[in-house]
Chains A and B, each alone.
Chain A
Amino acid sequence: MSLDMSVKPEGVDTRHGAILYLDDVTVSFDGFRALNKLTLDISVGELRCIIGPNGAGKTTMMDVITGKTRPTAGQAWFGQSHDLARMTEYEIAHAGIGRKFQRPTVFEQHTVFENLELAMKMDKRVLPTLFARLTSEQQDRIDAILRLIRLHGQEDRLAGLLSHGQKQWLEIGMLLMQEPQLILLDEPVAGMSDAETARTAELLNELRGKHSIMVVEHDMGFVAEIAQRGKVTVLHEGAVLAEGRMDEVQAHERVIEVYLGR
């Protein structure tokens, strides 16, 4: 079933308005519940911020969505037809979910250009990859992304030589090359300078509405900047503690308690 999905990446059925739907998802590791009946949905085109203290289950949630971890119980749906619990990592990526890791993961021995080229949406099976040739349209797409992530003119540099912030942007650029429906960003501004953080917020605001985006972040200033009037979800001990606009969440009694300690 999952195989024919991977050949139709466009086929994300979002008739009911939700691009991602987690229903009662539980993940247990040797009795420890990293996720505890988590229920969450993300609408098409929404930019959702997820915050929560350490160990709240944010990364485990991303692992479930991208197929790295299987839920012990509950369901995870991408659109109406993709059961994420039954798909492999690369099938999920093909179906249209892109993920940026907490620590920047790019191909350090490849140039910036090659990194983007590898990520580009196309047939990613063995033989088509062996015979792949770049068309001028694809070249243009890579150029456009290079400009967007402010690495134009640096396409021939080895990715391993980029600064930390540039690597984060390159990784975001690689996600965009996949033309995903849903982008997951795990702490995109961790370790960034103030200028880089501001630039990243700018970048995400440019992407708003074009993709559905889920951002997990600790940096409250950054969250306030990009959440604007959108929904923010607070996770705590593997479940949703509060959900609402940033100012509502910040005024929420339990959230203050969890964040500041009793």
Chain B
Amino acid sequence: MNHLYSRRGWSVLAACTFVAALLPLLHLALPAGHPLHVSGYAMGLVGKFMCYALAALALDLVWGYTGILSLGHGLFFALGAYAHGMYLMRAIGRDGSYGSVLPDFMVFLDWKGYPWYWAFTDHFWYCMLLVVLVPGLIAFVFGWFAFRSRIKGVYFSIITQALTYACMLLFFRNDTGFGGNNGFTDFKRILDFPITAPGTRTALYLATLALLVGALLLCRWIVRSKLGRVLQGVRDAESRLMFIGYDPLAFKLFVWTLSAVLCAIAGALYVPQVGIINPSEMSPANSIEMVVWVAIGGRGTLAGPIIGAFAVNGLKSWFTAAFPDLWLFALGLLFILVTLFMRKGILGTLPLLARLRPAARAGAKVEVKEEAA
């Protein structure tokens, strides 16, 4: 039904993974003047895009397959980033501006010690646990109340939007203990490796690539399982699903929580590569942008949102440099055009074009059939 599942799909996936894995090699092995040399900037950009792609993949699971439109996934992304950021802040040690064991923002606020919720955050693996557990738990509790009350459609979307906005305001406060509007930045090292060293950056890049491909395979396995068909049943005819004996609450909660955790992992990979996390990541616009990546790439295709995240962010990088003031207008226009003319997004439209072309040339009748690959 989808080219992601065909032999050609596998080949494309393998080729993309190979090329992506080759970039750091070209970065490290070749001298700066070489025509095939990849700059640290370019590699960092691709690494960042892969984090966005992972977030888009997570969103596709709930929106594309289950029909739950979240306008608040930026929250889970940011929470994952903050959880990892806590470790990175602790790892600065006494190298901050004030030479204290406390992060600069705490010294500035005249705090004498860490608040209780910073306990153990000097341990890397404990923070990795937080990356998964905190957003997972918040998603689970929020989802449980929302789905149990049978809140659906646009109402659910608005509540997720409000949730991320409320958390943004909370994180903006200095008293919350997460650095207020400056957030976390000026990281020095991760697991004792200097964070800006080419080797460290390469390792982070490769970890991101591995997790993105792993998440893609996991999602593919899930959507092709019977559970995946139940999720699509939630999307298409929830009452029918209930009357044949499935509890939609349990299935929605499962996919919602899983999606939040994947998104949080994306955030956790994002923060050491970009070097900063602040509450603006929780702004409603960021979450909406994620939805645009999925829509443009093609929802309900898994590979589409990844393509969408790369395409939109690639365009954004160029656009914000060339016409900094016009980006939001361009994004809005792009979204409108895709909604009007490419309702299935890039990946949903490509096979249609491919089928139209030879048929039109031969003058034959165009038969739009589902590809049984």
Nearest CB of B to A203, in Å: 19
Surface stretch bound by B, among A88-96, A194-202, A209-217, A252-260: A88-96
Tell whether, in the assembled complex, residue B232 and residue A106 are in contact, meaning their CB atoms are under 8 Å apart: no
CA distance A132 to B229 in the complex (A): 11
CA distance A114 to B225 in the complex (A): 11
CA distance A139 to B41 in the complex (A): 55
Q: Does B325 contact A (CB under 8 A)?
A: no
Q: Among B227, B236, B241, B254, point to the contact of A109 (Cβ < 8 A).
A: B236
Nearest CB of B to A226, in Å: 22
Tell whether, in the assembled complex, residue A118 and residue B243 are in contact, meaning their CB atoms are under 8 Å apart: no
Per the 8 Å Cβ criterion, residues 229-252 of B in contact with A are 229-230, 232-233, 235-237, 239-248, 250-251
Tell whether, in the assembled complex, residue B232 and residue A107 are in contact, meaning their CB atoms are under 8 Å apart: yes
User: Is chain B's binding surface mostly helix, strand, loop or mixed?
Assistant: helix
Q: Does A26 contact B (CB under 8 A)?
A: no
Tell whether, in the assembled complex, residue A131 and residue B225 are in contact, meaning their CB atoms are under 8 Å apart: yes
CA distance A177 to B119 in the complex (A): 54
A-B contact count (CB 8 A): 82
CA distance A107 to B238 in the complex (A): 9
Q: Which residue of A lies closest to B230 (CB)?
A: A129
Instruction: Tell me the A residues contacting B by CB distance below 8 Å.
Output: 66, 88-90, 93-94, 98-99, 101, 105-110, 114, 117-119, 121, 124-126, 129-132, 156, 158, 174, 178
Nearest CB of A to B217, in Å: 15
Nearest CB of A to B344, in Å: 13
CA distance A130 to B244 in the complex (A): 17
Q: Among A114, A130, A131, A158, point to the contact of B370 (Cβ < 8 A).
A: A158
Given contacts A129-B230, A132-B226, contact A105 B242 (CB under 8 A): no
**Within 8 Å CB of B239, what residues of A?**
89, 101, 105
Q: Which residue of A lies closest to B253 (CB)?
A: A126
Nearest CB of A to B239, in Å: 7
**Within 8 Å CB of A88, what residues of B?**
247
CA distance A108 to B233 in the complex (A): 9
Tell whether, in the assembled complex, residue B227 and residue A106 are in contact, meaning their CB atoms are under 8 Å apart: no
Given contacts A107-B233, A117-B226, contact A125 B240 (CB under 8 A): no
Tell whether, in the assembled complex, residue B226 and residue A178 are in contact, meaning their CB atoms are under 8 Å apart: no
Q: Which residue of A lies closest to B221 (CB)?
A: A130
Tell whether, in the assembled complex, residue B245 and residue A178 are in contact, meaning their CB atoms are under 8 Å apart: yes
**Within 8 Å CB of A99, what residues of B?**
243
**Within 8 Å CB of A114, what residues of B?**
229
Tell whether, in the assembled complex, residue B247 and residue A130 are in contact, meaning their CB atoms are under 8 Å apart: no
**Within 8 Å CB of A158, what residues of B?**
370
Q: Does B163 contact A (CB under 8 A)?
A: no
Tell whether, in the assembled complex, residue A90 and residue B225 are in contact, meaning their CB atoms are under 8 Å apart: no
Nearest CB of A to B305, in Å: 18
CA distance A126 to B251 in the complex (A): 6
Nearest CB of B to A121, in Å: 8
Q: Among A101, A124, A132, point to the contact of B246 (Cβ < 8 A).
A: A124
**Within 8 Å CB of A117, what residues of B?**
226, 229
Q: Does B222 contact A (CB under 8 A)?
A: yes
